[in-house]
Structure 1
Amino acid sequence: MVYTRKDVSTLTADERRRFVKAMLEVKRRGEYDEFVRMHIDHYVSDGEGGLRTAHMAPSFLAWHRRFLLELEKALRRVDPSVTVPYWDWTRDRTATAAPWTADLLGGNGRASDRQVTTGPFAYATGNWTLKENVTDGEFLTRDLGRSANPIELPTAAELEWALKDPVYDTAPWDSTVTEGFRNKLEGWGTGRGSAAWRNHNRVHRWVGGEMLGGASVNDPVFWLHHAFIDLVWTRWQARHRVHRYLPAEPPGEASRQYRRVVARKEKLPPWNVTPDQLEDVSGIYRYA
């Protein structure tokens, strides 16, 4: 049966409680840390060799769509009523709005070390010790709005700039492309400050702390952020119906991207699924 992902700001008190409880149980079972490790392992940049799947590549959206589905399956094994809510950062733009409430994700990190001390994911609760990380830190950290060098969350106009591009992605299929929906949404830009981090990427920068690197999954807001990114992809698909995931065919041997990006009908590691198979999720879930 098709289930619904809701705007986090519209969740009832019971829905918030169930979501948090399921997240903590997935963490207690050790499954959550496997998701963190998977993201770290697949966070491959342009400067590295080999296949890129999760970031700086056309499969950014497809990879995270499947990643979200896997987390959602784990949550629904705990509580079948739970789905991943989305955080619309074009509307809920302050450090005190949802999802930064005591009954959901907790708030900002304290000034001294950016440790999150409020909400169910605070280190002091004993329920959210970081075990897979790119540093040796054990507690969740945030720096909402980046206190030392403030930035703003992306606006609806900036998101529209990405949405109106009818082409999914373009060569050279990496972080340097300036046209195409995928990188305008993923957000690898040029220059300094806000211009260097657009849409998806700037949200990671705005949250700060654990959200800054490959271990960003350690902050539960990762999933709410990516649920919204996934919703944006569905909006792009509805607006540009004749346009699809690109590249349709793998880059040839003469290309710098030969065997470095996933074409539409190629398998998307670490799963036995193709971007082609992930384009239509209408039979699995919808967005409210």
Structure 2
Amino acid sequence: MTVRKNQAELSSAEKRAFTGALLELKSSGRYDAFVTTHNDFIMRDTDHGERVGHRSPSFLPWHRRFLLEFERALQSVDPSVALPYWDWTVDRTPAASLWASDFLGGTGRSRDGRVTDGPFAASDGNWDISVRVDGRDFLRRTLGSGGRQLPTRAEVESVLAMETYDMPPWNSASDGFRNHLEGWRGVNLHNRVHVWVGGHMATGASPNDPVFWLHHAYVDKLWADWQARHPRSRYLPEGGTPNVVDLNETMRPWGDVTPADMLDHTAHYTYDTAA
């Protein structure tokens, strides 16, 4: 069984295995297919039209499947690798260990956001950005962008306390757990982290930055934590809802998976016991 660990608990060997698998997927061209998929969906998902991966109830099951597909791709390179998660309520500064040069590298230089250290630095020639939002072909970050602060544990707890998964109008204006976690309402968890990292993470092509996977693994863990706290709270909507994915409807692009299929993550992986 795959066990996803807090990135702060990874050994040096585990870090090397993870980054090595990322680089291998990148060199084979398989990595950029995931970037393209995410960018395509975030650009298509709108509040008043069809929405699948974002601004909608299926935000969480869609990303759960997306991460599972990516984790399987990593494991096809190295079966020992699992997606780590980044607990941004604890590792809250650019000095945190995940930004060290032996793992993801740090923030970008001031004039253009270019990441200059770590295995994904442009100078190493192993991480050319092919799915671009502009003409630049290097990984960009601006950690702490705009003077923002990462979410606190108290803010996370306030969202985990919400008993209702989602509610009309089933978009970025909704109340409920999903939208407060996604970040369009309230304390803003998921979205705020994307903006804090900045650079590519603040765009639809956010998986260009490998920290995307660690961030979303933690978002997925928070969903799992919420499910454990509220076992009687179900995925909503269950049926007959225009423009969104109901409980037993298939999710694009896969065509063989529904939100109901993604409710139990333990069929595929577990999380360690770290907070």
1:204–1:212 CA contact under 8 A, matched in 2: yes
* Superposed counterparts of 1:259-274, under 5 Å: 260-271=243-254, 272-274=256-258
* Counterpart for residue 67 of structure 2: 68
* Counterpart for residue 212 of structure 2: 222
Once the two structures are superposed, what CA deviation does each residue of 1:212-238 show, in whole Å capped at 9, x if it has no partner? Answer: 111001000000000000000000000
Mapped to 1, the partners of 2:47 and 2:252 lie a distance apart of 19
1:249–1:264 CA contact under 8 A, matched in 2: yes
1:58–1:173 CA contact under 8 A, matched in 2: yes
CA drift of 1:184 comes to: 0.6
* Counterpart for residue 177 of structure 2: 181
* Counterpart for residue 114 of structure 2: 115
Write 1 or 2 for the structure with the bigger share of helix.
2
SS of 1:99's equivalent in the other structure is helix
Mapped to 1, the partners of 2:48 and 2:130 lie a distance apart of 25
Once the two structures are superposed, what CA deviation does each residue of 1:245-284 show, in whole Å capped at 9, x if it has no partner? Answer: 1101131xxxxxx2x1100000011111000000012121
Mapped to 1, the partners of 2:147 and 2:260 lie a distance apart of 39
* Superposed counterparts of 1:197-208, under 5 Å: 198-208=188-198
* Counterpart for residue 11 of structure 2: 12
- Structure 2: gaps (5+ residues): none
Mapped to 1, the partners of 2:34 and 2:45 lie a distance apart of 19
Mapped to 1, the partners of 2:267 and 2:67 lie a distance apart of 15
Mapped to 2, the partners of 1:129 and 1:60 lie a distance apart of 28
Question: Counterpart of 1:144 in structure 2: which amino acid?
Answer: L
* Counterpart for residue 281 of structure 1: 265
Q: Return the TM-score normalized by structure 1.
A: 0.92
Mapped to 2, the partners of 1:162 and 1:72 lie a distance apart of 27
Mapped to 2, the partners of 1:45 and 1:19 lie a distance apart of 31
2:75–2:82 CA contact under 8 A, matched in 1: yes
1:64–1:226 CA contact under 8 A, matched in 2: yes
Mapped to 2, the partners of 1:241 and 1:47 lie a distance apart of 29
Question: Counterpart of 2:58 in structure 1: which amino acid?
Answer: S
Mapped to 1, the partners of 2:48 and 2:204 lie a distance apart of 14
Once the two structures are superposed, what CA deviation does each residue of 1:152-185 show, in whole Å capped at 9, x if it has no partner? Answer: 00101111111100100000000011x2100010
SS of 1:231's equivalent in the other structure is helix
* Counterpart for residue 134 of structure 1: 133
- Structure 1: gaps (5+ residues): 190-194, 252-257
Question: Counterpart of 1:283 in structure 2: which amino acid?
Answer: A
Mapped to 2, the partners of 1:180 and 1:47 lie a distance apart of 16
- Using a 3 Å threshold, how does the CA distance of structure 1 residues 229 and 263 change in structure 2: closer, same or farther? same
Mapped to 1, the partners of 2:17 and 2:231 lie a distance apart of 36
Q: Return the TM-score normalized by structure 2.
A: 0.96
- TM-align CA RMSD: 1.1
Question: Counterpart of 1:182 in structure 2: which amino acid?
Answer: R
Question: Counterpart of 2:115 in structure 1: which amino acid?
Answer: V
